[in-house]
Amino acid sequence: MSVTAAQGFEAAGVAVGLKSTGNRDVAVVVNRGPLKVGAAVFTSNRAQANPIIWSKQVIQDGVVEAIVLNSGGANCFTGSFGFQTTHQTAERAAELLGVSAGDVLVCSTGLIGTGDEVFRGKVLEGVAQGIAELSADGGENASLAIMTTDTRPKRSVISRDGWTIGAMAKGAGMLAPGLATMLVVITTDAVLTSEQADTALRAATHVSFDRLDSDGCMSTNDQVTLLVSGASGITPDLADFTAALTEVSADLSRQLQGDAEGASHDITIVVRGAANEDDAVEVGRSVARNNLFKAAIFGNDPNWGRVLAAIGTTQAEFDPYNVDVWMNGVRVCHEGGPDAPREEVDLSPRATELVIDLLTGDATATILTNDLTHDYVHENSAYAS
């Protein structure tokens, strides 16, 4: 059911020709209330697409009536024409829904630097067609419409004590913090204020989407949105809601990791024994972005020396000659020296776990990444052709 699993939401996903494949390419999600609460987090890239610039303005008052998303074009670096396109998208949706354009979020994904009158016309057509097809069963079609190089849709639903969270996501490449190149829409029928929604969303993304670092490349269009309808009439404990939201976000992050472009290994990097959480994240990120390590994993080579070389570039507090490293359950390095023979490590499964113990403190963090493959290079060398 995706985003329509929660009460109070309708959605649609339609095809208007933005994609050469003819697949669905415009999604609309509408909050029917009674609450119209919204919260969002955005890419930290200084280069930001027109929909991000628009949506940052919309979200300031915490009121969101609807969100329109298109694939098949990022509408980024398209100048004033591109911003006008985003503005007109919100205005068209607002006119058809009888709401204010200032309460309509807009998201786009696809190739950067393209956009013309044909693109604009198709997006506006998609808005009209999508709103005409809105239904409480439209969540699955909406999740299909936001896909680009994704090979499958990403959806997640969780229910707790009479309230529900439903979600959809897209993302397969340019996966790095600042959210990864993802569009995520999360809905809930729980009763929350805009301040509570914002607090919960930031806490959830901090330990999920922000720790997905597949290829180290940050997008211009990332946005994670939480919409609150309050239709269940139930006000959950904020800690309980945040825990459930984090669970949904972590599930979607794993789905994004598992569909990363060209990847043959899904690598979970667990850093423990750190002096603090920031150190653990920095150390995990240094390995996730190390092409030598990622290439070794692609070749099923347990080259743990590349792990120590990577973490040595950080400012984290630890002794590089007193570190333990496990690869898929085998301790290959103990206190900065060789331990079990490399031959004992089986890297043939897609699921790969790297554990780094800094033997310094009690903090832990987990980073998700992928290997570096021929297919990744090929897919991204031909993305615009």
Catalytic (active site) residue 181: yes
- pLDDT value at residue 346: 97
Contacts of 248 (CB under 8 A, 6+ apart): 156, 157, 158, 165, 167, 186, 204
């609807």: which residue's tokens? 66
Parse the chain into domains and list their residue ranges: 2-258, 266-381
- pLDDT value at residue 173: 59
Q: Which residue out of 86, 148, 164, 181 is catalytically annotated?
A: 181
């972590």: which residue's tokens? 250
pTM of the model: 0.94
Using alpha carbons, list the distances in angstroms from residue 288 to 11, 37, 87, 351, 358: 36, 36, 38, 15, 16
- For the chain, 385 residues long, the average pLDDT of each consecutive 10-residue run is 95 95 96 98 92 97 98 93 96 98 96 91 98 97 94 96 97 57 92 98 94 84 95 98 98 92 93 98 96 96 97 97 98 96 96 98 97 82 61
- CATH tag, 266-381: 3.10.20.340
- pLDDT value at residue 79: 92
Superfamily the domain 2-258 falls into: L-amino peptidase D-ALA esterase/amidase (3.60.70.12)
Q: Angle at CA 204, nearest 5°, toward 72 and 8?
A: 65
Structure tokens at 377: 């290079």
- pLDDT value at residue 289: 93
Residue 247 sits at φ, ψ, to 5 deg, of -65, -45
- pLDDT value at residue 217: 78
- pLDDT value at residue 215: 77
For residues 18 and 25, the answer to whether their CB atoms sit within 8 Å is yes
Question: Residues for the chain: how many in total?
Answer: 385
Q: Angle at CA 379, nearest 5°, toward 376 and 382?
A: 140
